[in-house]
Amino acid sequence: MAKKLNKVDVVTVGVGWAGGIIASELTKAGLKVVGLERGEERTTEDFQMVHDEYRYAIRYELMQDLSKETITFRNSLNEQALPMRQYGAFLIGTGVGGAGAHWNGDTWFFSPYDFEIKSMTDKKYGKNKLPKEYTLQDWGITYDELAPYYHQFEKMAGTSGELNPLRPERTEEYPTPPMKSTPILDRYMEAAKKLKLHPFRQPSANISEVYKNPDGQTLNQCQYCGFCEKFGCEYGAKSSPNVTVIPTALKTGNFELRTHANVTGIIHDGNKATGVRYVDVQTGEEFDQLADVVVLTSYTLNNTRLLLQSELGRPYNPETGTGVIGKNYCYQITAVATGFFKERFNAAMGAGSLGTTLDDYNNDNFDHSDLDFIHGGSITMKQLGKRPINENGAPSGTPRWGKEFKAESIKWFNRSIPVTSQGASMPHRNNYLSLDPTYKDAYGNPLLRMTYDFTKQDQALYKYITARCAEILTEMGAEVVEPKELTEHFDIVPAQNDHITGGVIMGADPETSALNNYLQMWDVDNVFVIGASAFAHNGGYNPTGTVGALAYRAAEGILKYREQKGQLVKRESSNKLA
């Protein structure tokens, strides 16, 4: 029998960027918020010994414990899905701060085109540019509507950056100037300019100088130590929920952060949620945390899973195309080419979002009339800080072990660097999330089942963008340039990209979306679902900036909901009977 806990104003499931932003905004406004986090307490103090590639980047210290919970995976509808038993293609965060504690810090705004992609594609290229099995949708919000929330996220995070020549004028400056440059990044900049492209120093949450944010939290200056992605920052120099929004919420006295609390279901009567049920993972005790408003703020996968498991919202059915929960699951297409240079660079130095990028082949910035795909990707050279276990690259044909492997991998360690892309991913009717009929987690609940394969659109985009990455490296004077090929099918084993989106998407029409543009569920007014799970497709940038903006938008929505109740957005339905 679960123990009932006194009702609070708001309970959040997961305390990362989304949970932290909701907590800070609502507690500042005087609401009582409980944040439930399945993982452990985590602060800057935990990162004093973080320069440890083996523990953090190879054994994934900060990631979800897969022995408790994982996903099952299959490429197509007629296959038996099997568990992702160990990490490979993507990583899942856990603990206080979530993936925000160990992200790289790339803080992008999605483009105006992203939010109205269906309308703009139809208008420019006709209704048949993509076959109808691509379930492309507008997001139910425009760039201009979301822009103020993007700026709010940037200011809280102290983002460092430089104007992107190909984007609409910013209404506000970046809070801090761009990060330092390096010889290899300068070379990328020059080569791209020679190719008549428009490179710029990319936005970064590894802060270029000491910064005090509007909530009064101080962020330190990045030391370029080379341990960002998959690591926490020992300086508090990388914007993370742990050094910004969580302390802000705690300071109000209205926020209770409860760790080791794994939520197993949303309690509801179909139309209203009354709270959530969770297990204390250390003692096994069950609790019902009652609340006026339930906010799902965990990762894409868990947001979707909790709704399906709690039988909230209408599950998506790929056979009929009806239902919404689990729909429009997207990945991201990591096009990459590696350049091998004669000279040595200080490749071990770096930072998570120390990079130079360009948008010439992103969004609809280039003409797709004669191309068999839409959208594209930002193309970036980054100096992340090379680490020796993971980085043993040598030109192809080099053996994978033995004397020659050793000599070549040592030779190229400081001489090779990749150009990579965050390639957009379009939704497809058969790429979706559902509950697995066979496999269960540590608490006896079904695992989430992922059905996903690369589409023709993905393959065409990958091929095109990879060739562009290679052109830049050639112009940079690399001795050898090697574009990487995409596997025939999506493979759960090799590391690729952690940017997973969709499953609980936003939109203007309740028939085809789960959430309105405040991320409030169409079906259940007092449940908000925040995260990249709300993306109707995945754009050509890293997703965190957009998650942050949507979280600020949702926080405003929850405050509005407290005043006016009911649906905050009028339904626009394609169904004439609605």
Partner 1 sequence: MDEKSKSNMSRRKFIRNSSYAAGGLIGGGILGSIIGTNYFGETEQPSTGSSKESNFNRALMYFTRQSDFQILSAATERIYPKDENGAGAIQLGVPYFIDHELAGAYGHNEREYMKGPFFSGTDYQGYQTPLKRHDVFMAGIRAMEQESKSNYDASFIDLEGEQQDEILKKFENDEVKLKHVSSAYFFEMLRTATISGAYADPLYGGNADMEAWKMKNFPGSQMTYLNKIGSEKFIEMKPKSLRDHLS
Contact positions vs partner 1 (CB under 8 A): 48-49, 51-54, 58-60, 65-67, 70, 73-75, 79-80, 82-86, 88, 180-183, 221-226, 343-346, 348-350, 354, 386-389, 392, 400-403, 405-407, 409-410, 413-414, 438-440, 487, 489-493
| Residue 149 CA: distances (Å) to CA of 24, 172, 245 | 14, 12, 15
Instruction: Tell me the closest approach of the beta carbon of residue 208 to partner 1, in angstroms.
Output: 11
Nearest-angstrom CA–CA distance, 348 and 227: 9
Edge-to-edge order in the sheet of strand 432-440: 82-83, 71-74, 446-451, 432-440
Q: Which amino acid is at 313?
A: G
Rounded to 10 deg, the angle between the 143-157 and 544-564 helix axes is 110
Instruction: Tell me the closest approach of the beta carbon of residue 461 to partner 1, in angstroms.
Output: 20
Instruction: Tell me the closest approach of the beta carbon of residue 317 to partner 1, in angstroms.
Output: 23
One-character DSSP codes across 482-542: EEPPPPSS--SSS------EEES-B-S-TTT-SB-TTSBBSS-TTEEE-SGGG-SSB-SS-
User: Going by C-beta distance under 8 Å and a sequence separation of 6 or more, which residues neighbour residue 12?
Assistant: 18, 19, 22, 23, 33, 34, 35, 36, 295, 296, 297
Instruction: Tell me the closest approach of the beta carbon of residue 182 to partner 1, in angstroms.
Output: 6
Which residue in the list 102, 375, 428, 499 is annotated as catalytic?
499
Q: Which amino acid is at 540?
A: G
Closest CA to 544 of 81, 53, 42, 20: 20
CB nearer to partner 1: pick between 137 and 383: 383
Instruction: Tell me the closest approach of the beta carbon of residue 382 to partner 1, in angstroms.
Output: 13
CB nearer to partner 1: pick between 380 and 517: 380
Q: List b or e across 296-307, with b for residues whose CB sees 16 or more CB atoms inside 10 angstroms.
A: bbbbbbbbbbbb
CB nearer to partner 1: pick between 10 and 71: 71
CB nearer to partner 1: pick between 150 and 413: 413
Closest CA to 39 of 90, 88, 93: 93
Q: Which two tokens stand for residue 397?
A: 């044909």
CB nearer to partner 1: pick between 195 and 348: 348
CB nearer to partner 1: pick between 314 and 386: 386
CB nearer to partner 1: pick between 94 and 111: 94
Q: At 481, give phi and psi (nearest 5°).
A: -125, 125
Rounded to 10 deg, the angle between the 544-564 and 17-28 helix axes is 40
One-character DSSP codes across 280-320: ETTT--EEEEEEEEEEE-S-HHHHHHHHHHTT-SPBPBTTT
CB nearer to partner 1: pick between 90 and 287: 90
Nearest-angstrom CA–CA distance, 136 and 145: 20
Nearest-angstrom CA–CA distance, 331 and 71: 15
Q: Which two tokens stand for residue 551?
A: 């979280």
Instruction: Tell me the closest approach of the beta carbon of residue 386 to partner 1, in angstroms.
Output: 8
Instruction: Tell me the closest approach of the beta carbon of residue 449 to partner 1, in angstroms.
Output: 12
Please answer whether residues 312 and 268 qualify as being in contact, where contact means their C-beta atoms are separated by less than 8 angstroms.
Answer: yes
Nearest-angstrom CA–CA distance, 176 and 174: 5
Nearest-angstrom CA–CA distance, 97 and 304: 20
CB nearer to partner 1: pick between 104 and 152: 104
Determine whether 499 is an active site residue.
yes
| Three-state secondary structure call for residue 562 | helix
Instruction: Tell me the closest approach of the beta carbon of residue 412 to partner 1, in angstroms.
Output: 10
Q: Which two tokens stand for residue 470?
A: 């290679």
CB nearer to partner 1: pick between 60 and 522: 60
CB nearer to partner 1: pick between 63 and 473: 63
Instruction: Tell me the closest approach of the beta carbon of residue 177 to partner 1, in angstroms.
Output: 15
Instruction: Tell me the closest approach of the beta carbon of residue 489 to partner 1, in angstroms.
Output: 5
Q: Which amino acid is at 539?
A: G
Left (φ > 0), alpha (ψ -120 to 50) or beta: where does 97 sit? Answer: left
- Tracing tokens 């992922």 back to the chain, one arrives at 450
Residue 526 exposed, middle or buried by CB count within 10 Å (0-12, 13-18, 19+) = buried
Residues carrying an active site annotation:
499
